[in-house]
Amino acid sequence: MNNFLGRKIYNSLIFSILLVLFSLLVARPGYGADEEGENKTAFIMHHIQDAHEWHFATIGHTHISIPLPVIIFESGYGLRFYMSSDFVDEHHEGIEKDGYYINEHGHLMSKDESLSFYDISITKNVATLFISVTLLFLIFLTMGKRYKQNPLGTPKGVQSVFEPIIIFIRDEIARPNIGEGKYEKFMPYLLSVFFFIWFNNLLGLLPGAANLTGNISVTLTLALFTFVITTFAGTKDYWKHIFNTPGVPWWLKFPVPLMPLVEFIGILTKPFSLMVRLFANITAGHIIIMSLIALVFIFESVYVGPISILFGLFMNMVELLVAFIQAFVFTLLSAIYFGLAVEEHHHEEHKEKLENSPA
């Protein structure tokens, strides 16, 4: 199963990279480095990245977009509140406001470069975050209420949709990987992270929606949550296994702490892989679909349309699957890491028994 998933992830990554390269190659030599040629695929990168406004479409010179709040925490001043529309003029060209401006990459910059500030704007991704969390609350709080009112009743409506998934996470992910009796305290996190990723993966597939789970900041935060929980859940055994791995020759540990170093790097690579896996898979999926659409603009032919639509549709279907698989993989791997952290080892006991035995 893992092998299959791994290969699938790997394949989709390679495929997406090839496609991006292909689209860039097609776009660049044909049109040189001129403005038009870049614009043809620029929307892909524009889509998969965060932005201060929620841009839907540009028809002619009219930009259809929702302005979003821009919040700046400036040291020595405090919070500054603006709207993203404050930073553009009527022609949608960037303008300056109170010494701040949004550059061509969509970053909020200060004219005074010595000024220290934090951009905590409600960007497109943050807005999506609010929407998806509202959806999560709406669904699961309703569900929770129903279970509270009638705990032994048969599941109805939304309950019958999500109950099998909740049971699946409990019985197929948490129980076997963390262990009976220890999995309960990790269930809230596993369920939350699973539904958060799954819902956002699906929401990201909607036209005009943000690419939240394909954003490195989001996956970094989620991976950090898993890392922090793993670290705090770690038993004495877990740390002993890292810094003084039993069953390893002493010379791998003593003058040069090779094994402890490798094990320690292992602690960090686990969340790092979680972060990259989710980010790369979702972003790759978006890039593929976008690239297929971009073919129409690159070839400037209406006859490419059916191909784009067919392949785009196929990719969208695949992405529906990937949305679930990635949420599942993130949850499964988190559960495996928690399981490793709380695992009880019996090496010592075995050894003692062997030494104590008369033979």
Partner 1 sequence: MDLITPAFGLIFWQTLIFLVVLFILGKFAWKPILGALKAREASIDEALSLAEKAKEEMKQLKGDNEKLLAEAKQDRDKMLKDAAKLAEEMRDQAKNDAKLIGDKMVDEARISIENEKNNALGQIKDQVAELSLQITEKLLKKNLSEDKAQQGLIKDYMKDIKLN
User: How close are the terminal C-alpha atoms of the chain, in Å?
Assistant: 43
CB burial of residue 297 (10 Å; 0-12, 13-18, 19+): middle
CB of 169 to partner 1, least distance (A): 10
Nearest to 281 by CA among 327, 235, 248: 327
Residues forming contacts to partner 1 in the complex (CB under 8 A) are 45, 48-50, 71, 105, 118-123, 125-126, 129-130, 133, 136-137, 140-141, 143-145, 147-148, 151-152, 163, 166-167, 170, 184, 187-189, 191-192, 196, 215-218, 220-222, 224-225, 279, 283
> Whose Cβ is closer to partner 1: residue 166's or residue 318's?
166
Q: Is the distance from CB of 222 to CB of 139 less than 8 angstroms?
A: no
Per DSSP, the three-state class of 117 is: strand
> Whose Cβ is closer to partner 1: residue 97's or residue 170's?
170
Q: How far is 218 from 126, CA to CA, in rounded Å?
A: 10
> Whose Cβ is closer to partner 1: residue 122's or residue 296's?
122
Q: Which residues contact 12 (CB under 8 A, 6 or more apart)?
A: 281, 284, 285, 288, 322
> Whose Cβ is closer to partner 1: residue 170's or residue 253's?
170
Show the DSSP H helices in 150-257 as ranges: 158-168, 175-178, 187-204, 216-233, 236-243
CB of 331 to partner 1, least distance (A): 13
> Whose Cβ is closer to partner 1: residue 122's or residue 320's?
122
Residue 351, H or E segment: helix 347-356
> Whose Cβ is closer to partner 1: residue 65's or residue 283's?
283
CA 24 to chain centre: 25
Q: How far is 120 from 126, CA to CA, in rounded Å?
A: 9
Q: How far is 215 from 193, CA to CA, in rounded Å?
A: 15
> Whose Cβ is closer to partner 1: residue 196's or residue 328's?
196
CB of 124 to partner 1, least distance (A): 10
> Whose Cβ is closer to partner 1: residue 39's or residue 221's?
221
Tell me 248's DSSP state.
S
Tell me 88's DSSP state.
B
CB of 199 to partner 1, least distance (A): 11
CB of 46 to partner 1, least distance (A): 11
Tokens of 321: 């699957």
Tokens of 184: 């309960």
CB of 307 to partner 1, least distance (A): 27
Q: How far is 108 from 69, CA to CA, in rounded Å?
A: 12
CB of 48 to partner 1, least distance (A): 7
Q: How far is 224 from 178, CA to CA, in rounded Å?
A: 19
CB of 218 to partner 1, least distance (A): 5
CB of 187 to partner 1, least distance (A): 6
> Whose Cβ is closer to partner 1: residue 196's or residue 330's?
196
Other CB atoms within 10 Å distance of the CB of residue 13: 16
